[in-house]
Amino acid sequence: METLEQIKSRIEAAVPGARLEVIPNDSPAKQASLLVDPTCALDVARFLRDDPQLQLDYASNVTGVDWLDTAVKEKVKVKKVVDGAEKEVEETVEKKRPGYLEAVYHLYSIALKHGPVVLRQRTENRTDKTHLASLTPVYRGAEFQEREAYDLYGLIFDGHPDLRRILMWDGFKDFPMRKDYVEPDDYEYEPTPHDDVLEKATRHYAPEVKI
Amino acid sequence: MASSGEASVSMDEGLRNELSKQGVFTVKLQDLYNWGRKSSVWPLQFGLACCAIEMIATTMSRYDLARFGAEVFRPSPRQADLMIVAGTVTKKMAPQVVRLFNQMPEPKYVIAMGACAISGGPFKQGYNVLKGIDRYLPVDVHIPGCPPRPEALIEAFMTLQRKIDAQPLVGPDRPRYLDPNAPAEFPVPEYGEHDLEPSYNPEVWQPPKLVRAG
């Protein structure tokens, strides 16, 4: 299979106005992924499926990721006057990165026996702008998995034929897999609590009687 | 013939032995009634998770629950006496389990089978699993295990049979179904915005008050 960079340049040639970015992966897996803008995600997916060299006809997995607001440290080279002479000095700058949600698609080709190509879509923020493009019109098998991502992360897939909760009940308001989810406090009875469970269980302990 | 377990109306033991040698068996109505009930307990045919596989194994030829009169698993709650809660009860499933129990006719019994059904088991700290069906239903026998072996289910079944055998027909200790003031139905929890409402039925279950050292 081609490298992700080659695929990226071919998509850019085939899909006009496609905004793509290769996200590197520093872990031992080195599995880089392709960040797609939601406005063109459906066209990109259609290209990946129909292109004769790729034929990525199978979306094996759709999942969500929750990225909280974080501070990112970056090393920036700054020109400074040190001891009367101008020098380049490395400085670490802390930048605040606002949080966002991601939907990740793993695409394989059954016909050509290769893959995966990892596709990502990113929302603008974690609160109100959580809309993404649904890839269900291209990959029929993504329907239930996108519903699951909606159910647990609150990702809203525009263009999905039937976007409802799939695991939790309809009246449920929370999104349990988000990192700031507060679970219901039913820790009244924990026989052997430890760690963070101990902390939650202690709230239910009867106040100590002092004489 | 006495209908209660009172000693004042019971028969002389020697006379009873003498009569039984002649082929005349005397028995209290309560014992006869309970013997009939305990020998033909029909469980409800439903399983929730992997414990149900062990429950099925218990009914098949190797462990053979039929020896205890419980081989008829009924697919309708209207015909069942015993609910074996075999597996993880998710919060989404809990109202249906309580509703099925309400649809069973009295006298009815509950066995909570396995770690999940008695406490939530390995999923206890999850947001979506009920921490034991005894929060909503009056459980008669709890079986620990993940999953419990068929022998454990048979032991629980025999425990239930002993319990049925000892139930008096009159008096303050009589079972729920003979007491007109006792609840026949148990409130079905509602799906709330964050959790089931209520999160447990205080008439059936209250968190135990543990004394903590330190």
Contact B127 A167 (CB under 8 A): no
Size of interface A-B (CB pairs under 8 A): 40
Contact B207 A174 (CB under 8 A): no
- Please tell me if residue A204 touches chain B, with a CB cutoff of 8 Å: yes
- Please tell me if residue A198 touches chain B, with a CB cutoff of 8 Å: no
Task: Give the model's confidence band at B213: pLDDT under 50 very low, under 70 low, under 90 confident, else very high.
Answer: low
Per CB-CB distance under 8 Å, the chain B contacts of A183 are 127
Count other Cβ atoms within 10 Å, centred on residue A100: 17
Position B8 scores a pLDDT of: 46
Section B166-174 average pLDDT: 88
Per CB-CB distance under 8 Å, the chain A contacts of B208 are 189
Is B204 a residue whose pLDDT tops 60?
A: yes
ipTM (interface pTM): 0.78
Which parts of chain A sit beneath pLDDT 70?
A: 208-211
- Name which residue leads in pLDDT, B5 or A205: A205
- Contact between A123 and A132 (Cβ < 8 Å): yes
Position A208 scores a pLDDT of: 65
Contact B127 A183 (CB under 8 A): yes
Question: Angle at CA B88, nearest 5°, toward B85 and B89?
Answer: 75
Per CB-CB distance under 8 Å, the chain B contacts of A179 are none
**Nearest chain A Cα distance for residue B133, angstroms:** 14
Q: How far apart are CA A19 and CA A23, in angstroms?
A: 13
Query: pLDDT tens across A3-43, in order?
Result: 899 999 999 999 888 889 999 989 998 899 999 999 999 99
**Nearest chain A Cα distance for residue B143, angstroms:** 17
What's the number of CA atoms in the CB half-sphere (13 Å) around residue B80? 20
Query: pLDDT tens across B94-150, in order?
Result: 999 999 999 999 889 999 999 999 999 899 888 999 999 999 999 999 999 999 999
Per CB-CB distance under 8 Å, the chain A contacts of B127 are 176, 181, 183-184
Is B9 a residue whose pLDDT tops 70?
A: no
- Contact between B101 and B72 (Cβ < 8 Å): no
Position B3 scores a pLDDT of: 45
All residues at 6 or more sequence positions from B23 whose CB lies less than 8 Å from its CB, including other chains: none
Q: How far apart are CA A4 and CA B80, in angstroms?
A: 61
- Contact between B50 and B87 (Cβ < 8 Å): yes
Provide the sign of the torsion angle of the four alpha carbons A46, A50, A55, A58, taken in this order.
Answer: positive
C-alpha pair distances (Å), A207 with each of A80, A202, A210: 61, 10, 9
Contact A189 B208 (CB under 8 A): yes
Burial of residue A175, with CB atoms counted within 10 A of its CB: 0-12 exposed, 13-18 middle, 19 or more buried: buried
Contact A186 B199 (CB under 8 A): yes
Chain B neighbours among A 91-150 (CB < 8 Å)?
none
Q: How far apart are CA B43 and CA B52, in angstroms?
A: 12
Nearest to B148 by CA among B116, B108, B109: B116
Q: Which of B125, B194, B210 sits opposite A197 (nearest CB)?
A: B125
All residues at 6 or more sequence positions from A50 whose CB lies less than 8 Å from its CB, including other chains: none
Contact B191 A197 (CB under 8 A): no
- Contact between A178 and A100 (Cβ < 8 Å): no
Q: Which of B123, B128, B196 to mutate to test the interface with A (most CBs of A within 10 A)?
A: B128
All residues at 6 or more sequence positions from B162 whose CB lies less than 8 Å from its CB, including other chains: none
Q: How far apart are CA B145 and CA A4, in angstroms?
A: 50
Per CB-CB distance under 8 Å, the chain A contacts of B131 are 186, 189
Q: Which of A172, A197, A204 sits opposite B193 (nearest CB)?
A: A172
Contact A184 B193 (CB under 8 A): no
Q: How far apart are CA A1 and CA A18, in angstroms?
A: 21
Structure tokens at B174: 């009589």
> What chain A residue is nearest to B190 in terms of C-alpha separation?
A171
pTM here is 0.83
Nearest to A55 by CA among A117, A140, A100, A118: A117
